Amino acid sequence: MAEVRERAWLRPELSDRRRLLLASSLMLLVELALIRWTAANNVHLIYLTNFVLLASFLGIGVGFLRGTAGRDLFPVAPVALAALVVFMLAFPVSVTAFSGDRQLEGLFGLRALPMWVSLPLIFALTVTVMATIAEEVARTFARFPPLEAYRLDILGSLAGIVAFTALSFLQLPPLAWGLAAAAGFVVLLGRRAGRWQWAGLGVVVLLLGVQSLLPLYHWSPYNKVRATERPAERALSVSANNVPHQVARPVEGLRTAAPFYFFPYRHLPAGTLDEVLVIGAGTGNDVAVALANGARHVDAVEIDPALQRLGRDRHADRPYLDPRVTAHINDGRAFLEQTSRRYDLVVLALTDSLTVVSGQSSLRLENYLFTVEAISKARDRLRPDGVFAMYNYYEPWLLQRYAGTVASVFGSAPCLEVGDPLGGRRQAVLTIAADGGVANCAATWRRPAVVPEPATDDHPFPYVTGRSIPQLYLWTLALILVASVALVRRVAGPLRGMRPFLDLWFMGAAFLLLETKNVVQFALLFGTTWFVNAAVFAGILLSVLAAVEVARRVRLPRPGYLYLALLAALAVTWAVPPEALLALSAPVRFLAATVVAFTPIFLANLVFAQRFKDTGASTVAFGANLLGAMVGGMLEYLSLLWGYRSLLVLVAVLYGLAFLTGRRHLAERAAAPSPAAPG
In a domain, 57, yes or no: yes
Report whether pLDDT(285) > 90: yes
Residue 527 pLDDT class (50, 70, 90 cuts): confident
Q: Is 527 exposed, middle or buried (0-12, 13-18, 19+ CB in 10 A)?
A: buried
Written in H, E and C, the secondary structure of 38-95 is HHHHECHHHHCCCHHHHHHHHHHHHHHHHCCCCCCCHHHHHHHHHHHHHHHHHCCEEE
- Domain at 385, CATH number: 3.40.50.150
In a domain, 234, yes or no: no
Distance (Å, whole) CA 256 – CA 247 = 13
- Domain at 590, CATH number: 1.20.1250
Regarding whether 287 and 216 lie in a shared domain, the answer is: no
Regarding whether 585 and 651 lie in a shared domain, the answer is: yes
Q: Which domain range does residue 604 map to?
A: 469-673
In a domain, 356, yes or no: no
In sequence order, the β-bridge partners of residue 345 are 276, 387
Regarding whether 628 and 513 lie in a shared domain, the answer is: yes
Regarding whether 475 and 427 lie in a shared domain, the answer is: no
Residue 669 pLDDT class (50, 70, 90 cuts): low
pLDDT in tens, 195-214: 999 999 999 999 999 999 98
In sequence order, the β-bridge partners of residue 326 are 299
Regarding whether 619 and 524 lie in a shared domain, the answer is: yes
Regarding whether 392 and 265 lie in a shared domain, the answer is: yes
DSSP letters along 509-525, please?
A: HHHHHHHHHHHHHHHHH
Kind of pairing, strands 217-219 and 104-105?
A: unpaired
pLDDT at residue 673 in the model: 52
In a domain, 239, yes or no: no
Regarding whether 557 and 498 lie in a shared domain, the answer is: yes
Regarding whether 217 and 293 lie in a shared domain, the answer is: no
115: how many CB neighbours lie within 10 A of its CB? Answer: 17
Percent of the chain whose predicted confidence (pLDDT) is above 70: 93
Report whether pLDDT(358) > 50: no
Report whether pLDDT(636) > 50: yes
CB 12 within 8 A of CB 143: yes
Q: What is the domain count for the chain?
A: 3
Report whether pLDDT(118) > 80: yes
Dihedral angle of Cα 421, 426, 432, 437, to the nearest 10 degrees: 70
Regarding whether 537 and 649 lie in a shared domain, the answer is: yes
Q: Of the residues 385, 414, 433, which one is the last residue of a structural domain?
A: 433
Regarding whether 383 and 502 lie in a shared domain, the answer is: no
Regarding whether 201 and 266 lie in a shared domain, the answer is: no
pLDDT (mean) for 140-169: 92
In a domain, 247, yes or no: no
Regarding whether 307 and 203 lie in a shared domain, the answer is: no
Q: What is the DSSP letter of 98?
A: S
Q: What is the mean pLDDT of the chain?
A: 89
Distance (Å, whole) CA 38 – CA 261 = 34
In a domain, 449, yes or no: no
Percent of the chain whose predicted confidence (pLDDT) is above 90: 64
- For the ranges 4-13, 147-156, 349-358, 654-663, the lowest mean pLDDT is seen at 4-13
pLDDT in tens, 433-465: 999 989 899 999 999 999 999 999 999 998 888
For the entire predicted model, the pTM comes to 0.89
In sequence order, the β-bridge partners of residue 105 are 94, 111
In a domain, 654, yes or no: yes
Q: Of the residues 205, 221, 237, which one is the last residue of a structural domain?
A: 221
In a domain, 453, yes or no: no
- Region of residue 159 (left: phi > 0; alpha: psi -120 to 50; beta: else): alpha
Q: Of the residues 412, 433, 454, which one is the last residue of a structural domain?
A: 433
